[in-house]
């Protein structure tokens, strides 16, 4: 059965509330197993929103499996035994909740076919509304905001254990409440979670901690910074050779691109991460440029100012494709009359 949210205006608050109420009803009544998954390369919102929902549902007596592998800097969020390895098959009669995954192809951790019902909770504008009930709210700063609203809808009695990962999702997806998606809604939601008792300063401090190798890698990656298109595009590379030398996975490199985005004159910043037979690019934009438009052109997607793609080419070719897509986006931007 298609959920009501698949046909309604995604930005309508009333439709959003109805969607959450429908999800709340399903979760409350569910007696069988529940599997919660998120997107590949899980970030703070992926880990935080799934862990918050999982803990809340377990405290309500539900049988929940969370197959997710957090990056190293987020591993502190989970207790031993809370997470599981990727599932080969879904348990019989299960409910599948997919969080923060723009499309089915991005979701990992379990097969996506074979659930009795599939829930899709997300805030990516590019979400294709897969699943039986899809609550997609692009105006929300993080999927963790949806989880906060969902648990409030269920009348959940908040605990620090549930509030902490939920607040983490809000912190990381807003760049610690600095990005353009920071609004009253997310700040209010975060305030309520702090009031539950989350040790805020401790959490933000912990979220900045990185393995020593991270800083060695930062040095190597920053040495590759290149300015293109008259300084409007900045790129940096993280190569397989660097990873072999330093011995770090690229899990923790997410904010490298956020750093170079602050070079004066830059409208588009990209980190090119070399993988086995492809290059993963992370793109951030500013001053009206759309990272999403660039990445969509390269076969990926994401949000307006933060998007990504995986390009099946070598670093040189990927950099070239990225530059071409960026040039087209900057041309488009230049053609738009100021103020519109």
From the list ligand 5GP, Mn ion, none, pick the one residue 45 interacts with, judged by a Cβ distance below 5 to 8 Å according to partner type.
Mn ion
**CA separation, residue 88 to residues 16, 62, 105, 256 (Å):** 33, 21, 16, 34
Cβ proximity to ligand 5GP, 19 vs 308, nearer residue: 308
If binding is defined by CB under 6 A, does position 131 make contact with ligand 5GP? no
Q: Which does 308 bind (CB under 5 to 8 A by kind): ligand 5GP, Mn ion, none?
A: ligand 5GP
How far apart, in whole angstroms, are the C-alpha atoms of residue 325 and residue 333? 12
Task: Compose the 170-209 pattern: x for residues touching ligand 5GP by CB under 6 A, - for all others.
Answer: ----------------------------------------
Q: Which stretch binds ligand 5GP (CB under 6 A): 47-55, 160-168, 209-217, 297-305?
A: 297-305
How far is it, in rounded angstroms, from Cα 277 to Cα 272? 13
User: CA 193, CA 197: separation in Å to the nearest integer?
Assistant: 7
Task: Find the binder of ligand 5GP among 306, 315, 319, 321 (CB under 6 A).
Answer: 306
Nearer to Mn ion, 122 or 274 (CB): 122
* 139 binding ligand 5GP? (CB under 6 A): no
Nearer to ligand 5GP, 239 or 310 (CB): 310
Q: Which two three-digit tokens encode residue 166?
A: 């939920």
Q: What is the Cα–Cα distance from 269 to 87, expressed in whole angstroms?
A: 36
* Length, in residues, of the chain: 340
Q: Summarize as ranges the residues that interact with Mn ion (CB under 5 A).
A: 45, 100, 143, 173
Measured at the CA of 224, the angle between CA 223 and CA 229, to 5 degrees, comes to 130
Q: How many residues of this chain bind ligand 5GP (CB under 6 A)?
A: 18
The per-residue DSSP string of 12-45 comes to -HHHHHHHHHHHHHHHHH--S-EEEEEESS--HH
Residue 318 interacts with ligand 5GP (CB under 6 A): yes or no:
no
Angle (nearest 5°) at CA 300 between 112 and 2: 40
267 binding partner (options ligand 5GP, Mn ion, none; Cβ < 5 to 8 Å by kind): none
- The residues in 85-104 that bind ligand 5GP, with binding defined as CB under 6 A, are 102-103
Give yes or no for a contact between 65 and 91, defined as CB atoms under 8 angstroms apart: yes
Give min distance, CB of 160 to ligand 5GP, in A. 27
Pair 110, 90: CB distance under 8 Å: yes
Please tell me the distance from the alpha carbon of residue 265 to that of residue 231, in angstroms, as a whole number: 6
Does residue 301 interact with ligand 5GP by CB under 6 A? Answer: yes
Structural contact between residues 115 and 65, judged by C-beta atoms closer than 8 angstroms: no
Alpha carbon distance 144, 127 (integer Å): 16
Q: Which is nearer to ligand 5GP, 178 or 337 (by Cβ)?
A: 178
Name which of Mn ion, ligand 5GP, none residue 310 binds, using a CB cut-off of 5 to 8 Å depending on partner kind.
ligand 5GP
Q: Which is nearer to Mn ion, 22 or 45 (CB)?
A: 45
**Does 33 interact with ligand 5GP (rule: CB under 6 A)?**
no
Provide the phi-psi class of 271: left if phi over 0, else alpha when psi is between -120 and 50, else beta.
beta
Which residues contribute to the site for ligand 5GP (CB under 6 A)?
Answer: 39, 41, 102-103, 106, 124, 126, 254, 282, 300-303, 306-310
């Amino acid at each position: 059965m298609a959920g009501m949210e698949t046909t309604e205006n995604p930005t309508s608050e009333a439709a959003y509330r109805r969607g959450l109420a429908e999800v709340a009803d399903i979760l409350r009544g569910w007696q069988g197993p529940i599997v919660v998954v998120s997107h590949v390369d899980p970030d703070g919102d992926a880990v935080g929103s799934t862990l918050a929902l999982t803990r809340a549902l377990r405290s309500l007596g539900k049988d929940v499996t969370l197959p997710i592998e957090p990056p190293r800097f987020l591993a502190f969020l989970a207790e031993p035994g809370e997470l599981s390895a990727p599932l080969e098959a879904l348990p019989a009669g299960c409910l599948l909740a997919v969080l923060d995954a723009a499309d089915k192809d991005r979701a990992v951790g379990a097969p996506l076919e074979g659930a009795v019902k599939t829930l899709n909770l997300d805030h990516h504008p590019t979400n294709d509304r897969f699943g039986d009930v899809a609550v997609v709210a692009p105006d929300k700063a993080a999927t963790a905001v949806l989880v906060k609203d969902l648990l409030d809808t269920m009348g959940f009695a908040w605990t620090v254990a549930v509030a902490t990962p939920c607040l983490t999702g809000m912190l990381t997806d807003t760049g610690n409440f600095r990005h353009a998606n920071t609004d009253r809604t997310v700040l209010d939601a975060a305030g309520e979670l702090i009031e539950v008792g989350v040790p805020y300063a401790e959490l933000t401090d912990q979220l900045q901690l990185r393995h020593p190798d991270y800083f060695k890698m930062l040095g190597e990656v920053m040495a590759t910074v290149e300015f293109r298109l008259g300084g409007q595009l900045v790129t940096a590379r993280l190569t397989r050779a660097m990873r072999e030398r330093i011995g770090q996975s690229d899990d923790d490199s997410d904010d490298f691109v956020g750093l170079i985005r602050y070079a004066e004159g830059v409208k588009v910043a990209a980190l090119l991460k070399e993988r086995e037979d492809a290059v993963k690019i992370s793109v951030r934009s500013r001053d009206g440029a759309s990272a999403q438009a660039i990445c969509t052109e390269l076969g990926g997607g994401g949000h307006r100012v933060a998007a990504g793609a995986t390009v099946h080419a070598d670093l040189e070719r990927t950099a070239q494709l990225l530059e071409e897509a960026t040039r087209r986006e900057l041309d488009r931007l230049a053609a738009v009359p100021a103020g519109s």
